[in-house]
Amino acid sequence: MLFASPTFLLVFLPLCLAAYFASPSINLKNGVLVGASLLFYAWGEPVFVLLMAAMTLVNYAAALAIDARDGKARKAALIVAVGVDLAALGLFKYAGFVAQTLTAALAPLQVDIPDPQIPLPLGISFFTFHCVSYLMDTYRRRFPANRSLAQVTLYIALFPQLIAGPIVRYKSIARRLVKRRHTLGRASTGIRIFIIGLAQKVLIADSLAPLAEAVFDKASRPGLAEAWLGTIAYALQIYFDFAGYSTMAIGLGVIFGFSLPRNFRTPYASASITEFWRRWHISLSTWFRDYLYIPLGGNRGPAWKTWRNLIVVFLLCGLWHGASWTFVLWGLWHGAFLVIERAGLGPVLARAPRVIGWTYALAVVLFGWVLFRAPDMAGAADIWSGMVGLNGLGGLAITTGQALQPVHEWLIPLACVLAVARWPRRFHGPGDWRKWLDTALVLGLLALALLRVASGTYSPFLYFRF
C-alpha cells in the first residue's frame, strides 16, 4: 500500500486513526497499530507478511536468549541470530545477483548457474536492519530484551517506517511502546508534517520523474545540456521522493505519539562528501557507523585501516541499496572520495571558501547519481560522456523536450514547500500573519496533492525497490 494512494489516504488511514484513538489503553492502541501494520504490509505482500512475522518471532526469541546468557554462549546466540537475519536478506535480495555474477565469471567454462528469480519482499532491507540493531543493542546490554511479543512486533513492523525507513533504533522508541502522550497540538503538527511530505513526493518528485526517465531511459547519447538536465532532475527526484516518504513517516509517527528520527538535513548544501553523509539518509549512515564502521576499528589505528574501513562500509552501503554492480560502484565511488578527504583534501576544503567545497561535493554527488540511476554501466558511461561534453553540446531529444514543458507543475510546489520549511517553528500568537499564510500554503499543498493522487499520476517510492 502506498502513502500517496487513495486507498491509504481515504480509507486505511482514517479507519486506523479512528480505531487507534477510540482505544482506551496503550495496549489496545498497540494492538490496533500491530494489526494495521500487518494489514498495510499484507496489502501489497500477502505472502511475505509471513516472512516478516517469522523474522519477528525469531528475533524476539533470540533477544531473550541473548539476554539470558553470558560469555561465549551469549556471543554465540548473537552470531546465530544475526546470521539468520542476514541469510534471509541475502537469499531474497542477492541470490539472483550472485547467480548472474558467477555465470558471467564462469562463461569461459560454459557453466550456467540457474537464476532462482526470487521476488524481493518490500522493505526487507529496512526491517532486517531493525532486527539486527535490536539484537546488537540487547547484546551490548543497552537495554534488556523486551518480553512483550506485541511490543517487539510493533517496533519492527510499525507501518509508517516499515517499507522505506527511516531506520529506527529500538532505544529511541522503547519508552514510547509502553507510554505515549497524545494532544491535539501534536496531532496537528503531525498532520502538517505529513502533508509537506506528501507534497514533496507527488507534486515535486513525481513531476520530475518523466524528465529523468526521458534522459536516462530514452535519450541516445545525450549532449552536454541534456545529460546535465537529466542528472539534476534525478538528483531532485530522488531527494524529494525519499525525503518526502521520510517526512510522511515522521508526521504519522508524531500523530501516533512516536518520535522517528530525522533522515535528511538539506544534503545538497554540503561542502564535502563527509558532510553529505551526515545530512543524507542519516538513519542509514549512523547505522553503518555504529554497527560496522566502529566495530571494524573506526578511525582508530593507522590511517590505512581507517581508509579500509571506509571502503568496506561504503561497498556494503552500495550493495545494501541494490543487487547490481552499479550500486556497488556507487558505494565505492563515495567511499573513495571519503578516503581522499580523510587523506588530506578535507582540511583543504575546510580552509577554502565554502562555495568551492559545495561545488566539488555537488559535482561528486551528481556524477554518483548517474551510477545509481543508470540501468547498467553502459548507460552510466553514456550519461557521463554527455556530462563532460564528449557527446557534443547537442539539443534536446523530443521526449526530453516534452518532459521539460510542464516545468511549472513542480516549480510552484517546490517554492511553496521551501517557503513553509523556512517559517519559524513558533508563531507569535494566533494573530501572527505568518501562521495564517503557513496554514494556507499547507492546505494548498494538500489540495494540489489530492488532485494529483485522484488523477492516478503518482508513482511508487523509489526506495521501495531497495
Residues involved in catalysis: 321
Cell numbers 533477544: residue? 63
Cis bond upstream, residue 166 (ω within 30): yes
* Cβ neighbours, 10 Å, residue 234: 26
Of 126, 60, 62, nearest in space to 93 by CA: 126
> What is the crossing angle of helices 124-139 and 71-105, to 10°?
150
Of 241, 214, 263, 252, nearest in space to 403 by CA: 214
Q: Is 70 exposed, middle or buried (0-12, 13-18, 19+ CB in 10 A)?
A: exposed
The DSSP result for 298-341, as a single string, is TT-S-HHHHHHHHHHHHHHHHHHH-SSHHHHHHHHHHHHHHHHI
Distance CA 375, CA 234 (A): 13
CB 105 within 8 A of CB 125: no
Q: 3-state class of 216 per DSSP? A: helix
Taking every pair of C-alpha atoms in the chain, what is the biggest distance, in angstroms? 78
Q: Is 266 exposed, middle or buried (0-12, 13-18, 19+ CB in 10 A)?
A: exposed
First to last CA, the chain: 16
What cell was used for 45?
A: 505482500
Distance CA 192, CA 198 (A): 10
